[in-house]
Amino acid sequence: MGKDKSSTMPDAATASELDEFRTLIEERSAILFDASRERFFAPRVNQYLREIGEQDAAGLLRRIRGSNVEYDRFLESLLTQETSFFRYPAIFQALERVVLPEVQARKLWSNPRVLRIWSAGCSTGEEPYSIAITVADALPFADAWQIEILATDISREALQFAERGVYAGRSIASVSAAQLQAHFSNLGDTWRVKPRIRRMISFAPMNLARSVYVGRMDCIFCMNVLMYFSEQRRNELIRRFYDALEPGGLFFLGHSESMKNVPVKFETAVYGDCKYYVKPVGPASEKKPVALGKGS
Ligand SMILES: C[S@@+](CC[C@H](N)C(=O)[O-])C[C@H]1O[C@@H](n2cnc3c(N)ncnc32)[C@H](O)[C@@H]1O
List, for the chain, all residue ranges whose pLDDT scores fall below the cut of 70.
1-8, 283-296
Task: Give pLDDT, residue 37.
Answer: 86
Mutate to test the pocket of ligand 1, among 225, 234, 237, 252 (most ligand atoms within 8 A of CB): 225
Return the ligand 1 atom nearest residue 30 CA: 19
Assess whether the C-beta atom of 226 lies below 6 angstroms from ligand 1: no
Q: Supply the Cα-derived Rg of the chain in whole angstroms.
A: 21
Task: Give pLDDT, residue 1.
Answer: 40
Distance 199 CA to ligand 1 centre (A): 22
CB 229 within 8 A of CB 214: no
**Ligand 1 atom 8: the closest Cα is on which residue?**
223
Task: Give pLDDT, residue 283.
Answer: 67
Q: What is the dihedral of CA 124, 78, 26, 159, to 10 degrees?
A: -20
What is the separation of C-alpha 62 from the centre of its chain, rounded to a whole number of angstroms?
30
**Ligand 1 atom 13: the closest Cα is on which residue?**
121
Distance 292 CA to ligand 1 centre (A): 29
Assess whether the C-beta atom of 82 lies below 6 angstroms from ligand 1: yes
Task: Give pLDDT, residue 256.
Answer: 87
Return the ligand 1 atom nearest residue 126 CA: 9
Assess whether the C-beta atom of 130 lies below 6 angstroms from ligand 1: no
The Cα 218–Cα 190 span in angstroms is: 32
Return the ligand 1 atom nearest residue 206 CA: 21
Assess whether the C-beta atom of 234 lies below 6 angstroms from ligand 1: no
Task: Give pLDDT, residue 288.
Answer: 45
From the candidate CATH numbers 3.40.50.740, 3.90.10.10, 3.40.50.150, 3.30.450.20, the one assigned to the domain spanning 89-292: 3.40.50.150
Task: Give pLDDT, residue 144.
Answer: 87
Assess whether the C-beta atom of 93 lies below 6 angstroms from ligand 1: no
The domain ranges of the chain are 15-76, 89-292
Residue 101: half-sphere exposure toward Cβ, Cα within 13 Å: 8
107: Cβ–Cβ under 8 A, 6 or more apart, which residues? 113, 114, 115
